[in-house]
Structure 1
C-alpha cells in the first residue's frame, strides 16, 4: 500500500505513512465487515466532508450505548469466526495427515537456510536421503539419523519430510525395434 501512495517519490514514505495508515484503518475488512476505526471507536472517522456539516448532538443513555457497542462486538466476533471457519475449510481440503514411526525411511527436503553458508548449491538435489527416523518429538517434529557431514541439526519439521519409496526393481529392456536410432549411427 505504501508503495502505491509514494509512487515516484519513495524517499517521502515517512511523510505519507500517516495517510496510508488512515486509509487502511478506514477501509472495510472482508473478514469483519467493518473498518478497524469502527470496531475500536464505535464509528468511522470524520472526513473532510463530514467536518463541513457538524453532526447533531443527541443525548443517549450509557446503557443504550453499551448495549449497542456490545452487540457490535459480538457481530464482529461472529463474522471473524465464520471467516476463520471458511479459511480452515479451504486449507483442510489440501491437507493430509502424515506421521512416521522410528525406523521409517524418509527423504528430506533441502532448504538453503538450514545449511551453513557456502555448503548449499542451487544445482544440488532438492531432497536427500533416504534416512531413518530416530524418534518423534511431537506430531510436527522428528529427529532423523542424519550424517554428521551435513553440519545441521537433525530435527526436521514434518513439512520437510516425505516417505521414501524405493525405486521399482522391474527390469527394463529395449529392443532395437523400440528405439529410433540404428546401430550404424542413424543411416
Structure 2
C-alpha cells in the first residue's frame, strides 16, 4: 500500500504512513465483514466533513448503545466463523489424508532444518528409505527407524512421508501377438 502511495517519492513514506493506516482501518475486512474502526470504536471514523458538524450526544441511550455493540460483536464473531469455514472447505479440497501402520515401509524426506548447521548439502539425497514406521504418534505424526548416521529426530509429519513402492521385479510375459520371432506352426 505504501509503495502505491509514495511511487516516485519513496523518501516521503513516513508522511504517507498515517494516511495508509487510516485507509486500511476504514476498509471493510473480507473476513469480518466490517471495518476495523467499526469493530473497535463501534462506528465509522470521522472524516473532515463529520468533524465540522459534530452532533451533541446525551448518555440516555447508553443501554441501547451497549446492546447494539454486543449484537455487532456477535455478528462479527459469526462472520469470522463463516469465513473460516469457507477457508477450511477450500483447503480440504486439496488435502489428502495419509495413514500408515506400524511396520509399513516408507520413504522419508529430510528437510534442510533437520541438519546441523554446515552439514546440509544441496546435492544430498532428499528422501531416504525404505525405512519402517516404528510408532504412530497421531494421524499427523509418525516415528520411523532412521539409520544411525542420521543425527535428527525420528519423528516426522505426514507431509514428509511417502509410501514405499518397491520396483516391479515381475516376469515380463509376451503374448504371441507382441512377439515377432514366433512363426505359425512352429513349436
Which bin holds the TM-score, normalised by the shorter protein? 0.7 to 0.9
How big is the shift at 1:93?
A: 1.3
Q: How does 1:93-132 map to 2 (within 5 A)?
A: 93-132=93-132
Would you say 1:47 and 2:47 are equivalent positions?
A: yes
Deviations 1:159-186 (A, max 9, x none): 111111112224579xxxxxxxxxxxxx
Look up the match of 2:180.
none
Change (3 A) 1:12 1:125: farther
1:61 is paired with a residue whose SS is helix
- Write out aligned runs for 1:1-187 (5 A): 1-5=1-5, 7=7, 16-51=16-51, 53-59=52-58, 60-170=60-170
Normalising by structure 1, we get a TM-score of 0.78
Q: Please provide the CA RMSD for this pair.
A: 2.5
Number of residue pairs matched by the alignment: 172
Secondary structure at the aligned position of 2:53 is classed as coil
Q: Which runs of 5+ in 2 are unaligned?
A: 174-187
Give the direction of change, closer, same or farther, for the CA distance of 1:84–1:100 in structure 2 (3 Å limit). same
Shift of 1:83: 0.7
Find the aligned partners of 1:142 and 1:14 in 2 and give their Cα distance: 50
SS of residue matched to 1:149:
coil
Q: Which has the larger radius of gyration?
A: 2
Report deviation, 1:41.
Answer: 0.7
What CA distance in whole angstroms lies between the structure 2 residues aligned with 1:33 and 1:39? 10
Q: 1:110 to 1:5 in 2, by over 3 A?
A: farther
CA distance in 1, matches of 2:172, 2:126: 26
SS in 1 for 2:107: strand
